[in-house]
Structure 1
Amino acid sequence: MNILMALSQLEVTGAEVYATTVGNELTKRGHHVFYVSDTFTKPHYGLSFSLLFNKRSIPHRFWHIAYLIFLIKRHKVQIVHAHSRASSWSCHIACKITGTPMVTTIHGRQPVHSSRKKFHAMGNKAMPVCEAIYHQLIDDLNVPAETLEISRNGIDTSNYQWVNAPRNIRKVITIIGRLSGPKGDICYRLLDECIDFEKYVVNIITGTIADTRFDKFKNKVNFFGYVEDMPAMLASADLVIGAGRVAMESILCGRPTLAIGEALNIGLVTPANITHAMTTNFGDISNEDRAINFSEIPAQINMALSTAHCNESATEKVRQNYDLQNIVSHIEDIYQSVYIHTKQREIPVLMYHRFIDKDIDKGTIGPYLDIKMFEKHLKLLKRLNFETLTFSDLKGKGMILRLEAGRRYCIITVDDGFKDSHTLMLPLLKKHNFKVVLYVVTGVDFNKWDVNHPNTPEKRFELITAQEIKDMANSGYIEFGGHTLTHPYLDTLSLDEQHREIAENKKELEALLGQPVLSFAYPYGNWNEDSKRLAKELGYDFAVATNSGPLALHEDPYLIRRIGVFSGTDVLSFARKITGGYLFRKRK
């Protein structure tokens, strides 16, 4: 996807660290990430543009919006991701004008005033980084809960590893954070009231130029300014004092960590208070009206310095909840949902069955399509620049691959595995260079489920043989999927019977192909919760249905909707089905 990250800041902040860390990982995953901000400090991949969001006069606001519209159109931006109040306001207007989906990560407590309650300016989805912000947005600003989703800070945990305790002659206390605003006030009071400079070495790590009030500490404290190698600074500290990302990174390194933020003094982070720490972004945000009691902090410092490491279970909790790979995957899911539901478009997943080239092969109940019409479908797809995806593509690069900028994708599926898939369909796939996912029944050699229909028995049509399955797989145009042994209505079977139908079919296919089979199709689109659970437990990564499941593919990979193609699907009706908005229109 083409993604625009928008920030407003005059110095390095946790929001910038978050945005560039997440953005760099998105870039590694194949996305094109652009940045716009007042200033930039952290290294990042992708183009960045300067825009003075902090200048908020009416003329500046108009300029912000106009420039954002220019960037969105110039770089074909598919989603805007804002990270501050100032940038989100302008982004919100620009996205409304251009119809661009937008999300906002909320890093801090929001100011409460009447205009903010009426005009949230957070786009289609707001992503608070902790529970305290989530509840404040609902309770104080009346933001609808369905437009919110907690998405924590993403930390590259590989950069922050447990280290041995330093062997400092004098214990080292490292305070990390801004020296401006409330954080600056807290740092000043820590230095002025809480720390014995004769007893400890004190380091201050900050991107802020210290104002004159800190001059009195210049000969007592080491002011390092901004530091690139943060893990090394953390490793050299006997105690780290900070909030938000600072506290998380310190805990990952195994350092005793005093979480003191703008809102709360959590104290030394332990298994007993780690949940509270996470809920408040390690003291930075709280709904509690409670001032920090600085008289308690000297004793907390002494207690923290009596231990060489933080508790390992606290480190593991942070690792589990803030791991960058998991967080970015979660953000990709949010991007997909926001994009699909805002645009009301999803790639078509098409469902075919039998192909015929003569009237005698027309069926009575089973769906079929004349092979000449199938070729017309393929020609239209080619004319409209469609490319086909298979589920191995989506497993390898993630389902968000289908939203790649400048590409137009569809998935063609064919059910049951009739012989005509080999004789009639495969040559056309080779001719037009399209791929298909073919779902095969392996326990019978003809359409027994239709032939034995009690009311309207179907003609007998042969299924492909084991050798034909191998030949088709070797062609490079067919990916095979499971479709049970005998094509039953799964919800009429016991759990054991369902297990046998799904598991044995998968086992037989994988033995033939010599590789894992990734997706499964529920016969008749019929399933129950046992069916879904078994598909997952037996190793399938995807399962396709027919008219059930969410409209966005990624929201339930075991219940992917498909668009049926039948004998009456001519070129015009096929064109309607592949526009991307067909299922949304159909549901209305």
Structure 2
Amino acid sequence: MEIILTVPTLLILALSARWTWWRPKTGGLKVLCYHKIGTPPPGSKLRDLWVSPKKFRSQVKFLMDKGYKTLLFSDLLQAYRENTPLPEKSVLITFDDGYENNYTHAWPILRELDAKGNIFVVFNTIGRANLWHNPASEPWINMATLSQLKEMQESGVVEFGSHTMSHPRLCALTLEDAACEMAESKRQLEAAFNKEICAFAYPYGDGAYAPEVRAKALAAGYTFDFSFRQGKTPWPWERSLRPLDRLFIRGTDNNWDLRLQLGSGDSRLF
């Protein structure tokens, strides 16, 4: 039997693949994952990691207009330790790596809209460049300086977590070296900011679901460990069972993508 697809049918199929509006809503902790806020350099092969300031402002405004409460790591820690429920519409805004553009572009927008954010910092690159990137994919860019990070912390708008000392793929290291990357970055960040560092994010998500690596993250003293796996995590959270997943915000995502991610945990099939 020959099947003929009409133009409207093809359009619906295409839209259903690009925007998964048909997926049911799911519960769980909503954690947004950003990287760079700004304009990617010409020829960048990492454009998905860049969200324009205009888009970022629109996305944060969407959250605030819809009644979401943006949480700091310390808010999450208090709820976890006291076993109290989170506000009904809670969301964590997180940034990986600690780029200078988080200070120049993201932080002012968060302040303007009365929102909170959290940055996972690679300790050895503070005030330097993102040397783990292959410059053939994108030129190195500046990381935030210690004074910039402290200014954000003192504003009460931003808190910090660890993203290791040097941003390696943890599963490619010996278990001893991976443990050192996680434990030493926590120690150094706590000394720099005079505050408990309770949260950790695995670079590239590598090791988040490797039991022996995750055990070292928990042994280092982190309360929360965040993966790079797409989705939401049931809350209350069973810490011994799994890390916290996140919702990756791409440079091409718009507010419809954001709405779908908050609802079902994803906005696209590919």
Relative to the length of structure 1, the TM-score reads 0.38
8 Å CA contact 2:30, 2:232 repeated in 1: no
Match of 1:572 among 256, 260, 268: 256
Counterpart contact for 2:230–2:247, Cα < 8 Å: no
Question: Is the CA contact 1:417–1:440 (under 8 Å) kept in the aligned structure 2?
Answer: yes
Query: What is the one-letter code of the residue matched to 2:253?
Result: T
For 1:471 and 1:484, locate their aligned partners in 2 and report how far apart those are by CA, in whole Å: 21
- In 2, distance between residues paired with 1:500 and 1:412? 27
Hey, what's the Cα distance between the residues in 2 that align with 1:556 and 1:586? 28
Report 1:130-145 matches (<5 A).
none
Percentage of identical aligned residues? 27
SS at match of 2:159: strand
CA shift, 1:392, in A, is: 1.3
- The residue correspondences of 1:345-424 to structure 2 (distance < 5 A) are 345-356=27-38, 358=39, 360=41, 363-365=44-46, 367-398=49-80, 401=84, 403-404=86-87, 407-424=88-105
| Equivalent position of 1:515 in the other structure | 195
- Structure 1 moving runs of 4+ over 4 Å: 399-403
What is the CA–CA distance in structure 2 between the aligned matches of 1:375 and 1:548, rounded to whole Å?
22
Matched residue pairs, number?
Answer: 238
Change (3 A) 1:564 1:534: same
Q: 1:418 to 1:402 in 2, by over 3 A?
A: farther
In the other structure, the counterpart of 1:427 is 108
In structure 2, which of residues 160, 163, 169 is the aligned counterpart of residue 480 of structure 1? Answer: 160
Q: Aligned ranges for residues 235-274 of structure 1 at < 5 Å?
A: none
Counterpart-to-counterpart distance in 2, 1:550 and 1:576: 12
How big is the shift at 1:387? 0.7
> Residues 487 and 423 of structure 1: is their aligned pair in 2 closer, same or farther, counting only changes over 3 Å?
same
Cross-structure match for 2:14: none
2:247 matched to 1:563? yes
CA contact (8 A) 1:550 1:559 kept: no
CA distance in 2, matches of 1:526, 1:431: 34
**In structure 2, which of residues 118, 121, 138 is the aligned counterpart of residue 440 of structure 1?**
121
Q: 1:493 aligns with which of 173, 176, 194?
A: 173
Letter in 2 for 1:483: H
Residues 402 and 409 in structure 1, CA contact (< 8 A), matched pair in contact too? no
For 1:461, what is the secondary structure of its paired residue? coil
Change over 3 Å in CA distance of 1:359–1:499 after alignment to 2? closer
CA distance in 2, matches of 1:475, 1:361: 33
Instruction: Quote the Cα distance in structure 1 between the aligned partners of 2:150 and 2:132.
Output: 24
The answer to whether the 8 A contact 1:482-1:519 is kept is: yes
Structure 2 residue aligned with 1:503, among 177, 180, 183? 183
What displacement does 1:547 show?
1.2
User: How much has 1:472 moved relative to structure 2?
Assistant: 1.1
Gaps of 5+ in 1: 1-342
Per-residue CA deviations over 1:248-272 (Å, capped at 9, x if unaligned) read xxxxxxxxxxxxxxxxxxxxxxxxx
Counterparts in 2 of 1:549 and 1:428: CA distance versus 1, 3 Å: closer
1:435 counterpart letter in structure 2? K
Q: 2:51 is matched by which residue type in structure 1?
A: L
Offset of residue 362 of structure 1: 7.4
- 1:344 is displaced (CA, Å) by 3.0
Where does structure 2 lack aligned partners over 5 or more consecutive residues? 1-24
Q: Residue 218 of structure 2 is aligned with which of 536, 545, 564?
A: 536
Structure 2 CA distance for aligned equivalents of residues 409 and 574 of structure 1: 14
Q: Offset of 1:391 from its aligned partner? A: 2.4
SS state at 1:578 partner: helix
Considering Cα pairs closer than 8 Å and 6+ residues apart, tell me whether 1 or 2 has the greater RCO.
Answer: 2
Once residues 74 and 26 of structure 2 are traced to their aligned partners in structure 1, the CA distance between those partners, rounded to angstroms, is: 25
Determine if the alignment matches structure 1 residue 467 to structure 2 residue 150. no
SS in structure 2 at match of 1:450: coil
CA distance in 2 between counterparts of 1:409 and 1:549 reads 15
Report the secondary structure of 1:545's partner residue: strand
Cα offsets for 1:292-334 (capped at 9, x unmatched)? xxxxxxxxxxxxxxxxxxxxxxxxxxxxxxxxxxxxxxxxxxx
8 A Cα contact 1:506 1:517, kept in partner: yes
> CA RMSD, aligned part only?
2.5
Distance 1:395 1:461, change over 3 A: same
Distance in structure 2 (CA, Å) of the matches to 1:499 and 1:513: 21
Letter in 2 for 1:472: M
Report the 3-state secondary structure (helix = DSSP H, G, I; strand = E; otherwise coil) of the residue aligned with 1:345. coil
Cα drift, residue 373 of structure 1: 0.2
Where in structure 2 are the equivalents of 1:330-345 lying within 5 Å? 344-345=26-27
Q: Structure 1 residues 586, 348: CA separation in 2 closer, same or farther (over 3 Å shift)?
A: farther
Deviation, structure 1 residue 360 = 3.5
Is residue 582 from structure 1 mapped to residue 265 from structure 2 by the alignment? yes
The SS at the match of 1:463 is coil
Structure 2 Cα separation of the partners of residues 560 and 532 of structure 1? 12
Deviations 1:561-586 (CA, angstroms, capped at 9, x unpaired): 0010011111221121122x325x87
CA distance 1:498–1:586, shift in 2 (3 Å): same
Post-superposition offset of 1:413: 0.6
